[in-house]
Amino acid sequence: MFYRLSGVHHANYVSDSRIFKVPADRNLAVFVLLFGLAAPFIVPSLYLNSYMLPWLIWTAAALGLNLVTGWAGQLHLGYAAVMAVGAYASIHAARFGIPWEFALIIGGLASSVIGSLFAFAALRVKGLYLALTTLAMQFVMDWVLTHSPAITGGSHASLQSPTLALLGQDITSDTGYYYVAFGWCVLVTIFMLNLKRTGLGRALVAVREKDFAAAILGVNSFYYKILAFATSSFIAGVSGALLVATFFFLAAPEQFSVAVSIQVLAMVIVGGLGSIIGSYMGVALILLVPGIVNGLVSGSSQSLGMQINVETLAHIPNAVYGALIVIILLIEPLGLGKLYGNIRDYLMVWPFDQLRK
Amino acid sequence: MTDKRETKSHADDGAILACSGIERRFGGIVAVTGVDFVIHPKEIFGLVGPNGSGKTTLTNAITGFYPPNVGTVRLAGNDITGTAPHKVAKLGVARTFQNLALFNGMSVLDNILLGRHIHMNPGVLRTALYWWAAQREEIENRKVVEEVIEFLQLESIRHEMVDGLPIGLKKRVELARALVAEPQMLILDEPMAGMNQEEKGYMSRFILDARAERGVSVLLIEHHMDVIIGICDRMLALNYGEMIASGIPREVVKDPRVIEAYVGGAHD
């Protein structure tokens, strides 16, 4: 219906390797991009900064984890620790007087170095063993952060982030923070979209699917696993730094605890491994649904005049949110991205849905 | 027992692939021992033997998955014994697998494009700056891939996922992926397993054409003797990891030891 393939003919390889081959996809992407640009003027600033901004930054972070877990197939349970490295490295660099542009890159590179250490574990072990190894490294990182006053100020302290300034401009307004987050998320998304059509992306999938077959094609799986970890860690580091600089304003170890690692992994899995639009949806579900359900439950109980005690009220959103995740993964194990894809494929031939897809 | 064996390097002159004294053991089991053979440029060389006779082990010894315990492998005169598989690939050896090794979850086109990996130079920055740094390379390699797609008549399925294809087509896609690497030496491990007579005919034609048009040398592992006799220039028969006969196919298949290995001897 909306997505039509009829009349779309690619006459050369450049056009056949476009990111969006179906006009409807391209139009949708342009619309979303324009909405993102116009959001500060449309969306009330409360929603802009407490919902859209964290959504965008967490999406960038989730895309980074998707690179290593969805593309290269390496289960990673220590992602928040890598984000923490980037956040603390950037803030310390900025406090030291280094311009924020470079501070962010320093944060990303510091994360890359630490994240590549995780990769060395990945080269020795696979699957569940790798998951456990990365989880152990998350705990090590937690311990290091809470026990190094020089980095974090100690276990219950938090570190003030200096005022964000990019291109010589101090960024202090809500709109400014939003655009920084938006810009970073767009950059990461473009990178991931390009990954789908380049040799690097193909090599990562080859390593994930069959490493022996990858080897006989000349793909050095050792190298590509490290590259996947390093790249995803860079994205994690910058995302962590931006999260503190534009949203939390204070860095504290518990912002990057093991629970956060699992939450990011949940975002990626619920969204769909290897799906870019899925990561957007997964983050929205994990990050925003608890708040929405909470509002709905308390709102409806008030309007119905029901007396629900506070504890029940606190637990209902969690239960609904947990049930939602289970239901989604039961309906479509490949996540929300695949659900969206199914609908798109259905509409592609609608009303001739008896046609072979 | 000594592990040193005489290597016959004087016979390797001009050979694409020369194996001498190959032995591979797994624990106490000797999977392959004392195998010597030479493949000349543009030759189709058959390798036969009953199940478990060491054909695939020999292939794995050549391509570096299980390096030989004894013996040497030379590719165009260079010693490649024990080189890691991804380096062997870069040196110009491509292979297909007995039980298929396509990447599920990728299209036919992406699978074949992966065959061009050794001719490409992928990287993180190049991916980020696709339009300036990667597009030209991608398009150039796509052109090479399309030539092979046309050659193997895969045009109609290039955008389909490989998971859903019938086995005959999967084998053809795998051959395409090996051919786009433009190898000197192509190793085909049972490319016709599970195929009917017609599909076998197609595949044999593709292999002959690949040699004629692209000048590859082929090491062909097969159970179908008609194919071996039909398209191979020379062949080698293995049994229990040892060479039992080698030479021109018509003569080798008449060798009493080959007949015994395949259909069993008379019990009297």
B151-183 confidence digits (pLDDT tens): 999 999 988 999 989 888 999 999 999 999 999
A240, pLDDT greater than 80: yes
B53-73: average pLDDT: 92
> B85 with B24, same domain?
yes
The chain B residue lying nearest A187, using CA atoms, is B128
Instruction: Write the single-letter amino acid at B161.
Output: M
Helix axes B135-151, B167-180, angle to 10 degrees: 130
**Min Cα–Cα distance to chain B from A137, Å:** 25
How many Cβ pairs within 8 Å bridge chains A and B? 111
Cβ contact (<8 Å) for A199 and B135?
no
Of A198, A209, A274, the CB nearest to B127: A198
- Using an 8 Å CB-CB cutoff, list chain B residues near A199: 113, 116-117, 120-122, 134, 137-138, 141
Position B267 confidence tier, pLDDT thresholds 50, 70, 90 = low
Note whether residue B131 is domain-resident.
yes
What pLDDT sits at residue A122?
Answer: 67
Average pLDDT over every residue of A260-270 = 92
What is the domain range of residue B68? Answer: 1-92+187-263
Q: Write down the pLDDT at residue B63.
A: 92
Could you write out the three-class secondary structure of chain A? CCCCCCCCCCCCHHHHCCCCCCHHHHHHHHHHHHHHHHHHHHCCHHHHHHHHHHHHHHHHHHHHHHHHHHHCCCCCCCHHHHHHHHHHHHHHHHHCCCCHHHHHHHHHHHHHHHHHHHHHHHHHCCHHHHHHHHHHHHHHHHHHHHCCHHHHCCCCCCEECCCCEECCEECCCHHHHHHHHHHHHHHHHHHHHHHCCCHHHHHHHHHHHCHHHHHHCCCCHHHHHHHHHHHHHHHHHHHHHHHHHHHHCEECHHHHCHHHHHHHHHHHHHHCCCCHHHHHHHHHHHHHHHHHHHHHHHHHHHHCCCCCCHHHHHHHHHHHHHHHHHHHHHHCCCHHHHHHHHHHHHHHHCCCCCCCC
At CB < 8 Å, which residues of chain B contact A?
63, 65, 84-90, 94-95, 97, 101-106, 110, 113-118, 120-124, 126-128, 130, 134-135, 137-139, 141-143, 146, 177, 181
Shared-domain flag, residues B117 and B63: no
**B97 in a domain, yes or no?**
no
Residue B74 within a domain: yes
pLDDT of residue B12: 53
Question: pLDDT higher for B258 or B144?
Answer: B144
* Residue A355, pLDDT above cutoff 60: no
pLDDT given at position B263? 74
Q: Rounded mean pLDDT of A129-149? A: 87
Is the pLDDT at A202 greater than 70? The verdict is: yes
Question: Both B155 and B68 in a single domain?
Answer: no
Residue in chain B lying closest to A194 (CA): B127
How far apart are alpha carbons A164 and A91 in whole angstroms?
10
Pair (B192, B120) in one structural domain? no
Do B178 and B231 lie in one domain? The reply is no
pLDDT at B7: 44
> Strands B234-239 and B44-48, how do they pair?
parallel
Q: Which residues pair with B74 in a beta bridge?
A: B18, B79
* B117 shares its domain with B243: no
pLDDT of residue B6: 43
Residue B98 lies in a domain: no
Note whether residue B242 is domain-resident: yes
Number of domains within chain B: 2
Q: B199 and B67 in one domain? A: yes
Question: Chain A residue with minimal CA distance to B159?
Answer: A16
| Mean pLDDT of the region B118-132 | 90
How confident is the prediction for chain B on average, in pLDDT?
A: 88
Does residue B94 contact residue B68 with C-beta atoms inside 8 Å?
A: no
What is the pLDDT at residue B1?
Answer: 38
Kindly state the average pLDDT of the residues A122-142.
85
- CA A104/CA A236 separation, integer angstroms: 11
* Percent of all residues in chain A with a pLDDT value above 70, rounded to a whole number: 97
Per-residue confidence at A276, pLDDT binned at 50, 70, 90?
very high
C-alpha span between A59 and A39 (Å, rounded): 17
Find chain A residues with C-beta within 8 A of B86's C-beta.
214-221
Task: Choose one of B130, B161, B182: the last residue of a domain.
Answer: B182
**Residue finishing a domain among B150, B182, B214:** B182
Both structure tokens of A326: 């289970």
Q: Are residues B38 and B155 in the same domain?
A: no
Q: Are residues B164 and B219 in the same domain?
A: no
Domain boundary among B160, B182, B204: B182
Least Cα distance to B251 among B46, B56, B54 occurs for: B46
Contact B86 A17 (CB under 8 A): no
Higher pLDDT, A7 or A293: A293
Q: Is residue B99 part of a domain?
A: no
In a domain, B194, yes or no: yes
Predicted ipTM of the assembly:
0.88
Give the bridge partners for A159, in sequence order: A251
DSSP tag of B192: T
Cross-chain residue pair B95–A216, CB shorter than 8 Å: yes
Q: What is the mean pLDDT of chain A?
A: 87
